[in-house]
Structures are given as C-alpha cells and as structure tokens.
Chain A
Amino acid sequence: MIISVQKGKDELLEILDGKERLFIVGCGACATVCKSGGEEEVFRMQEWLASLGKETTGTVIIDEACHIMRAGRDLRQLKAQVEAADALLVMACGAGVQSISSNSDKRVLGALNSLFLGNIRRFGQYEEKCSLCGECILNETACICPVTNCAKGLLNGPCGGMEEGKCEADRELDCAWHLIYERLKKQNRKGVFARTVPPKNWGKVQKPGRHKIPG
C-alpha cells in the first residue's frame, strides 16, 4: 500500500490561495486506509474549505485513484461539477494526483505527501519493507530486505556502525543485517553470507518505470 499523509495546513492554505471553488477527489484504496484521503477526510476537507469561505463544487472518491482510465470515467460523469471548479483538490498519493492531471487540463492541487510502499503493522502503523528495486534478493536474505531495512542499503553485511545488533542511524531499530544473520542461523543456512553480492543493477529501476504484461 502507498502510505500518504496530508500536507500541513499552512502549505494547503498557500496552494489554495485564490482558488474559491474546488472539486475534491479522494481515493478509495490506500489513502482511505491511511486516513489521508478517504470519505471521512474528504468530508472534513470540505468543511474546512467552507470555514475558509471556499465553495466545494462536488466530491468523488475514486475506487483507485491511480487507475488512469477509471479516474477519467469518474470525472466525465461529474463533468458539470468539475467544470464549475477553479481547481481539483486531490487527496490521493502522487500516482493518484497524476491520474487526475492526465485526465483534465484544469489546475490540479495535490493535498497529500506520499511516503513509501508500506506494510501495515496494525491500524495506523505502517512500515516500509520493500523499495521496489527491481532485483529481489529476499530468497537469499531470509526474506528480510537489506536494500530497504538497512539505512545504507548495504548488500554484504552490516556497516561499522552496528552496535549490539542495532542500527547506526537509529538506535531504536534492529540492524537489518543482524536480523538476517539471526534468521539464517535459525534456518541453518548461510544464504547471502555464502557469496559476495555484486553491485546492484539500478538500471532496472530506470525512471519512469514501465511494465506491460506480455501476451
């Protein structure tokens, strides 16, 4: 899931300056779970805009705002409300914002900051486990990703900053390499420690990413 948080009120006030009529777009997927752009947050945004004397011409929660075609269809169905607005205020991740902007020439305002691809620990608590690096070595690292969980993304063991199995950059966090080492030991295998991992092929995450299912 894409973890997102709402931008601060000061920044929102700045981007909303001069925009009196707004059409609000939320997202029914990640931003709903993150409580940053679901129905409730869209409603509260509408109330806040009203308190600022701004008009909401309409709202929509798109099932998955990142779905470009679906976003276009939803906006077309609400054409009059969209057209009446000075701008579209999008409460979705950066992918969602760009789904909307690719479907409308209207001014589009992003209301959230997107943080990372996150796992859910429990409601409201998210952890980054995967960096989408395009070249997965989890099978060798006892399914703990050093690219993401090591603060330096090292591939051949811990840095000199490891202390009692904790991370140099954040003493509250376990050193990813310590976790990998302990779990491999439990599984009685050497895994990634059996070889020197060569430099990563960052060419696999060339921007912008594109993928088409073959056939």
Chain B
Amino acid sequence: MSKLAEQLAAGRFVVTAEIAPPKGIDLARALSKARLMKELAAVNVTDNQGGNMRLSPLALSALLLREGIEPILQLTCRDRNRLALQSDLLGAAALGIENLLLLSGDHACFGDHPQARSVFDLDSIQLMAAVRGLCSGHDMAGKPLRGVPNFFAGAAVTPEAEPFELMFQKFAKKAQAGTAFFQTQAVYDVDKLARFMDAANPLGKPVLLGVLLLKNARMAEFLNRSIPGVRVPARLIERLDAAADPLQEGIAIAREMVGHARRLCQGVHLMTLGHEERIGDILA
C-alpha cells in the first residue's frame, strides 16, 4: 500500500505537490525540487504537461522512488493508445510505482508540438476502468496477467467549471469507475469549493484541493484569462496588487486555502511553480 493510500485511509490530512520532468536528461533540478518534498505524502510527476514534450514521467517517477520519494505518475490519454497505456502501466508497477493520476490531457494544439496527432483512444474514465482491470488480473482484451499490479489511481476535477451539473456528472462517473482519490484544479472561491464538496461528499472519495501559489497580480490575471476553470476573485487580485511583497501575499492566500481545505477536504495538492522552498510556509 502506498504512503498516500495509507494516509488517506487513516484519515490524515494529506499533502501532495508536483514536479515537471525536464526537457532533456539533466535531472539535477527536478530531483533537488523533489527532495524539498520528501516529507509530503507523494509528488505528482506531470506527463508532457500542456502538450509540451518532456522526459517521460515514468522514468522520473522511478528515479524518485530510488530517492525515497513517493511519486504519483500522471498519465494522459493524449499521447498513447490503449496498448501503450497498459504497457506503461505494467512497466510502472514493475518499477514499484503505485499512485497514478489519470487524465485526458491538454490538447496538443497548446503545446510545443502542435502538429502532433493526438491519440485519445481512451478517455480518462475508460482508462480508469482499464486500470481497475489490470489490478484485477486482466488486460483490456480480457487476457490474464502473469503478475498483477496494485495501483492507487486518482483522477482530476475542476470544481469551479460551469455548468456545474455537467462537470459533476463526469466527476460522479469517475468516482463510479473506481477512482481512489481526486486532485482538483486550483480553487480560490471558498463558497464554490463548499458547494462542490457538499455535492461530492456523499460519493465518499477523498478530495485533495488544488492550491496554486499566486506570485503576483499579473499571474492571477493570466490564470483568469488562460486556464480553464480557474478564477481568481477580484478581491484577491487587489490584495496581491496592494501588497509590498506580492509573493508573501500569495503565500498568505495559499495558506488560507490550505486552512479551508483542512475544514472541507481530505488534503491539498500544492502547485508552487519554482517556489518549492516555501511549501513549509504554505503549510504553516
């Protein structure tokens, strides 16, 4: 059982964070960032995030394990068909990786290879079903496996997406498909978070609130413009704008969101974008 699974099962407030693999094979920076996260339950390793080609998250996840850091391997449906996905999953299990985050994947048109052919042979729900299948000893073709993996597979949700009902039906389908935990897109509106958690709680799945560190007002405005389902309220942008030290204010905001998560959710997923050394301050 992974540390993440154990902590969630024990009802502990869980903290995860994430790193992106490098473009290239120099892993020094990624590993030094990850070492700052050693005390957390687990560390997400992103998969060609935003459609930008990076080193394989499977490789970096395996290297994290060697360092004694528990990874959450992110796996998108954008770049691999069902053969490649299952094959990578078995490979991950053989390397000792248990935690997964299964995603559709950002559209390739936003990335650095916009001419790539996107795959989407499966969607994230079908991939979850495939993972459940592997864990019960057979592949998608129904063929038995010699040596059965054990995964703790999570999925993503965007609590502020509108229309709410449409977003929620997908969340419910993911929960029904056997999702063990959820990590959310960043949320800054506590009322919206409470509305989501009210609806989500009956499904009984642990939810880790996405907390994205705001570095300044400009970044907040960029998120509002460019990242689907992320809305930084005007009053927070004003706070960042008025602050003598915007990063310090951003950390204060993140700390407040962690406080709300302690009340409403089962944990937090921290996205610190280069300020990993401040994780302690955010959790303080």
| Chain A residues with a Cβ under 8 A of chain B | 151-165, 168-169, 177-178, 181, 193, 196-200, 202
Contact = CB atoms under 8 A, between A and B. Distances in A.
In this complex, the member of B156, B173, B176 whose beta carbon has the largest number of chain A beta carbons within 10 angstroms is B173
Interface in B217-231: 228-229
In this complex, the member of B110, B228, B229 whose beta carbon has the largest number of chain A beta carbons within 10 angstroms is B228
B170 interface: yes
Interface stretch (B55-63, B119-127, B233-241, B263-271): B119-127
Interface in B82-121: 82, 103-107, 109-110, 118, 120-121
A96 to B, nearest CB: 25
B166 A155 contact: no
B166 A181 contact: yes
Contacts of B140: 199
14 contacts: A154-B120, A156-B125, A156-B173, A157-B166, A157-B169, A159-B124, A160-B103, A161-B229, A165-B162, A168-B228, A169-B109, A181-B169, A196-B176, A202-B121
Contacts of A196: 125-126, 129, 173, 176-177
A177 B77 CA distance: 18
A85 B130 CA distance: 57
B228 A161 contact: yes
Interface of A is mostly: loop
Interface residues of B, number: 38
B125 A158 contact: no
A177 B125 contact: no
Given A168-B107, A199-B126, A162 B82 contact: no
A180 to B, nearest CB: 9
A119 B71 CA distance: 47
A152 B118 contact: yes
B110 to A, nearest CB: 8
Given A163-B228, A178-B163, A178-B166, A155 B107 contact: no
B156 A156 contact: no
A208 B107 CA distance: 28
B163 A165 contact: yes
A196 to B, nearest CB: 6
